[in-house]
Amino acid sequence: MAKRTLSQLAPDKNLIGGKWVPDEDGMTLESRNPSDARELIGTFPRSRGGEVDRAVAAARAAYKTWSRVPAPQRGALLRRCAEVLAERKEDLARLMTREMGKPLAEARGDVQEAIDCANFYSGEGRRLYGETTPSELPDKHAMTLRLPVGVCGIITPWNFPVAVPSWKIFPAILCGNTLVFKPAEDTPACGAAFIKALSDAGVPPGVVNLVQGRGEEAGAALVQHPGVNLISFTGSSEIGKLIAASCGKTLKRCALELGGKNAQIVMDDADLDLALEGALWGAFGTAGQRCTATSRLIIHKQVKDGLVSRLVKAAKALRVGDPMDAKNFYGPLVNARQLERVERYVEIGKQEGARLLCGGKRLSAPALKHGFFFAPTIFDRVTPAMRIAREEIFGPVLSVLEIGSYEEAVEVLNGSDYGLSSSIYTRDVNRAYRAMRDLEAGITYINGPTIGAEVHLPFGGVKQTGNGHREAGRQVLDIFTEWKTVYVDYSGRLQKAQIDVTA
C-alpha cells in the first residue's frame, strides 16, 4: 500500500455533510511535533459556533435516513471501516507519533484498538438485543427495544487520538445515531485522518461530521447546541464538571470519562520482579500521559526499600527521546503547557516534604532541546495528604507510599477523589479476591499494571472519574440507545394493569 501524503491522509478542513470545507472565518490552529516544536505538522480550522451549527444541521438531516438503516447493515459498514483503518495503520501510527509523541509501537497499538473496536461493534449490529417478558395480563405481549438517541457530540483527548474516538463513534453510528466530532486541538491531524478513513470506507454524508477547534470555542458550542441530544466527553474532571452542568440545564444526556489517580499495591508476598516491570510500564509508558497511568505506588514496608532501590535504578536507565526510535521507552510530553504543569508538581512535591529520588527535570540534551521531554521522576516519603498523591499530574511522575498491611493499603488506595484503575501484586489468592471487592475503582488488575484495556470489556470509573457510564464493551450501548417498552394487547378488550390482576 502506497504511503499517503498528509493532505491525502488528513485533510486540513472540516467535514460537514460529506464535504471537506474550510472554516468560513479563516481562523486556524497549528499542529506541531512535540519532539521538535520547530516542525509544523499542519494548520487546521479553528472553528466556532457557525461551523458547529452547520455540522449539527447536517447530522440532523442525515439522522432521518441513517436511523432507519437496519442495524446489521450498519455493522457491515463498520467492517469496511476496520479494513480501511488496517490498510492505513502504519501511516496513521507514524502521523500519531509525530503529532502527539507516543512511541511508534504504542501508536500502532492505538490504531489497532480502533480496528478491534470496529470489528467488535460490527458484530453487535446483529445483537442489539431487546427483551421479551411475560405480561401480568392474559393475551398481552411485552417487549423492549433499543432505539437511537439522535445527534451526538463527541469530544475526545489527545493522548489516544484514534482509539478513544473509535470507542465513541463506532457504537454511536452502529446504534443509528449521527454525530459531530471535535478532536483535541493538540491532535487535529489524527482526528482528520481517522474521519477521512471512515468517509473513504463509505460512511454516508452527514452521519459523521468533523469540526476542528478549541475546547472553549467549538467544544463549548457543541455542548450548548440545542440540536445535540447527547455529549460524550473524555478529558479532565474539571472540564467534565462544566460540561455536566451545561448539559443539566436542558437535561441533555451526558457521558463523561474523566481523570484518575491510579495506584498499584505491592504486598510483601508479591513477585517483585513482576511488580517492578508493572510499575515501570504503568508509571512511564506514554510518558505517564494515560488516564490509567500508575501515579501512586503503595508498597508494603517489608519489601519497600529493596523494590524502590531497584525501581530508581531501572527508571534512571530508561531511554527517553525520539519516539520514532524503538530503543526509546517514551517520548515527549504533548506540549509546553503540559511540561510546565509537570514541573510545577515536582516543585509542589518538594515543598510538601516528599523526597525526590530521581528525575524531576526537563531533558535538554542537544537532540531533545526543541522538544518537551521530562525525565522519569520518583518521589519517596509521600503521604496520602500530599497534593502529588491526590491530584492528577499526567506525566512521568510516580509517588511511593509505604503501608504495613493489606487493610492499610486499601485505605490509602481508596482515599482518592478518583477511581478509574487499580492494581495489586500478591501471591495470596484470598487477598486477590478481597481486593476485587474492596478496591474502589472501575478496573482492578491482579498482578498487572494499571494501564491497558480491551475493547470488549467496559471501561470507566467511580467517584470523580466519571458520571457512572461505561465505554467500550456491550455496556456502551446503554449510552447511545434509548430503551423503549412496547405492549401489544391482543385480548380485544380493555385490560387494566394491577387493577385487573388478582392475587
- Give me the active site residues, please: 257, 291
- Amino acid at position 71, single letter: A
- State the helix-helix crossing angle for 406-414 and 429-438, rounded to 10 degrees: 20
Residue 123 makes CB contacts below 8 A (sequence gap 6+) with 75
**Taking the CB of residue 363, how many other CB atoms lie within 10 A of it?**
17
Tell me the torsion sign for CA atoms 157, 162, 163, 167: positive
Phi, psi of 195 (to 5 degrees): -70, -35
- State the helix-helix crossing angle for 301-317 and 272-284, rounded to 10 degrees: 50
Residue 137 φ/ψ region, left for φ over 0, alpha for ψ in the -120 to 50 degree band, beta for the rest? beta
Phi, psi of 435 (to 5 degrees): -65, -40
Distance (Å, whole) CA 187 – CA 334:
9
- Amino acid at position 214, single letter: R
Which contiguous run of DSSP H or E holds residue 311?
A: helix 301-317
Residue 499's Cβ-count burial label (10 Å; 0-12, 13-18, 19+) is exposed
SS3 74: helix
| Closest C-alpha to 67, from 229, 188, 184, 189 | 229
SS3 41: strand
Phi, psi of 271 (to 5 degrees): -75, 105
Residue 448 makes CB contacts below 8 A (sequence gap 6+) with 278, 423
**Taking the CB of residue 494, how many other CB atoms lie within 10 A of it?**
7
Cα–Cα separations (whole angstroms), residue 237 to 158, 240, 246, 270, 369:
15, 5, 14, 33, 32
Distance (Å, whole) CA 492 – CA 389:
67
- Amino acid at position 28, single letter: T
| Closest C-alpha to 346, from 406, 405, 285, 288 | 288
Residue 466 makes CB contacts below 8 A (sequence gap 6+) with 240, 255, 256, 257, 258, 442, 460
Residue 92 makes CB contacts below 8 A (sequence gap 6+) with 9, 85, 107, 111, 162, 190, 193, 194, 197
Phi, psi of 310 (to 5 degrees): -65, -35
**Taking the CB of residue 502, how many other CB atoms lie within 10 A of it?**
3
